[in-house]
Amino acid sequence: MAESNLVEKFITQVIANSDYEDLDRIYLRNRVLALVGDSARAVTTSSQKLLDLQVELVNATQDNGSCQQGSAARDRVATQLMELIVPRPSKVNRDFWQTYQESPERAIADFYQLSIRSDYIKTQAIAKNIYFTATTKYGDLEITINLSKPEKDPKEIAAARDAKQAGYPLCQLCMENEGYLGRLNYPARRNHRIIRFRLNDQVWGFQYSPYAYFNEHCIFLSAKHEKMHIGRRTFSSLLDIIAQFPGYFAGSNADLPIVGGSILAHEHYQGGRHQFAMEQAPVTTKLHFAGFDQVQAGIVDWPLAVIRLRARDQAQLVNLATKITTVWREYDDERVAVRATTNGVQHHTVTPIARRRGHDFELDLVLRDNQTSPAYPDGIFHPHPDVQHIKKENIGLIEVMGLAILPPRLKPELEEVKKFLLDEPNQVAPMHLPWAQQIRARQRINADNVDQILRAELGQIFARVLEDAGVFKRTQAGQTAFMRFVQKVGLAEQSASPSDD
């Protein structure tokens, strides 16, 4: 197709993707030119898609000097351009809840598509991530190497270091991010919208994650900037969320460092429409807790210590989950190095995940312990040193469920490992060398199978990472210790037969 004017083609796409009409074209042109500079009117393009046109406009803006160089300045312009297709927050919320009355599924789908069209969900960036599955004894684990978040320019990093801290918004999960322009050391959110809803008689928000790790990866956040805390309210909230947002699971990171997520200062949960390996893992030991006859319970066949609860009655689930967590917070078992506190510092909490099973509610409680020791300064129940060349970061909610989020450094590093395995000239990092030597010693490797072998080996490493994070190991001694804990909670009976799930 013949090239045509970039600004006008972008405006045409804005009209097609919003409530604007052709009568608004002059107004939109002036809005766009205010952002990209008058000289952008001379730029032509053969592109057709809205996001491609947006990228070209931002490039033209930096070329003509209307926008500073660097990713932060680019994002500010880009989000202002995409805000043109996003209604104001009140309308987004009104449309959502009006549609919800007829079809909750359609309301959620419409908001998801709006978040994609407006480039709040960074689909083009997410597509850069490396993703594959690896078969292990725990099922097909998912492996991602996260390449979606743009690397900052060193000049920007230096400038951000010296920039005055504004303190607004208080964090990236606060509602004050909605429509925020952004700054050098803080992301632009002009195209960001949040759906308000009630949760335990409080105002909460529902939004999508800009750099999603799985299908419809969303965030549920408190309107208040308060620290995360796992307890009765958490379990009740997660079950209420999956009742209000059909088809989604909802889970929370643990509320302690090392075993928690990256943002512990703001109460929030994550969710989405995705089935993780942990969800598919069977119950191997049924449990019957005294006083909870309506709750099916059991130990899950998973590298971490997981108790699965299932019932139609939400109150029963919440009560039992609260009891298990309360007992766990004070539980010691020196025989397996499990300690609730050290010098008054709390170590025990849980990572909870809620989902629906037909008409029933299901709640997984993953027992967590954030102790450190001289032998394991990063965490006793954390990836151990021999696997930290692949994964050293916290094992949070998403990884607990079986999806590895590996650092971007691995892409070039694994290329060197691949060369080593093929006996090609390489610069394999010393931290990867013992692992690479072990792979080469036990595998028959050639150019046709090297990628498959390397991915399978990464899957085995991730399985080990999860095993390291398990407080009760998948050994006879570990499972005996697990049974000592559930007996402490108040076990009435148990059997070693598989569940009916």
Gap between the Cα atoms of 135 and 457, Å rounded:
10
| Separation in Å, CA 7 to CA 31, 74, 496 | 11, 17, 67
Point out the least confidently predicted range of 149-153, 226-230, 268-272, 376-380.
Answer: 149-153
The answer to whether residue 399 scores a pLDDT higher than 60 is yes
Three-class SS state of 131: strand
Q: Mean of the per-residue pLDDT values for the chain? A: 93
**Tens-digit pLDDT profile for residues 7-19:** 999 999 999 999 9
Phi, psi of 148 (to 5 degrees): -80, -35
Give residue-wise pLDDT tens across range 178-197: 999 998 889 999 999 999 99
Lowest mean pLDDT: which of 146-160, 266-280, 404-418?
146-160
Which has more pLDDT, 136 or 493?
Answer: 136
Q: What is the CA radius of gyration of the chain?
A: 25
Distance CA 351, CA 255 (A): 8
Q: What is the pLDDT of residues 238-247, one digit of tens each?
A: 999 999 999 9
DSSP 332-393: -BGGGTB-SEETTEE-EEEEEEEEEETTEEEEEEEEEE----SS-TT-TTS--GGGTTT--S
- The secondary element (H helix, E strand) that includes residue 63 is helix 50-63
219-260, pLDDT tens digit by residue?
999 999 999 999 999 999 999 999 999 999 999 999 999 998
* Cβ 47 vs Cβ 7: under 8 Å: no
- Tell me: the pLDDT tens digits for 301-335? 999 999 999 999 999 999 999 999 999 999 999 99
DSSP state of 432: T
Would you state the structure tokens that stand for residue 112, as one six-digit string?
A: 């998801």
Angstrom distance (rounded) from CA 445 to CA 458: 15
Rounded Cα distance between 79 and 188, Å, is 7
Question: Phi, psi (5° rounding) for residue 362?
Answer: -125, 135
Higher pLDDT, 3 or 142: 142
What residue type is 200 in one-letter code? N
Burial grade of 442 (CB within 10 A; 0-12, 13-18, 19 or more): exposed
Residue 156 confidence (pLDDT): 47
CB 353 within 8 A of CB 364: yes
Q: Nearest 5°: CA angle at 224, between 218 and 226?
A: 95
The beta strand positions in 216-358, using DSSP E, are 218-222, 249-251, 268-272, 283-289, 296-300, 306-311, 341-342, 345-346, 348-357
Rounded distance between C-alpha atoms, residue 100 and residue 107, angstroms: 5
Check pLDDT > 80 for residue 482: yes
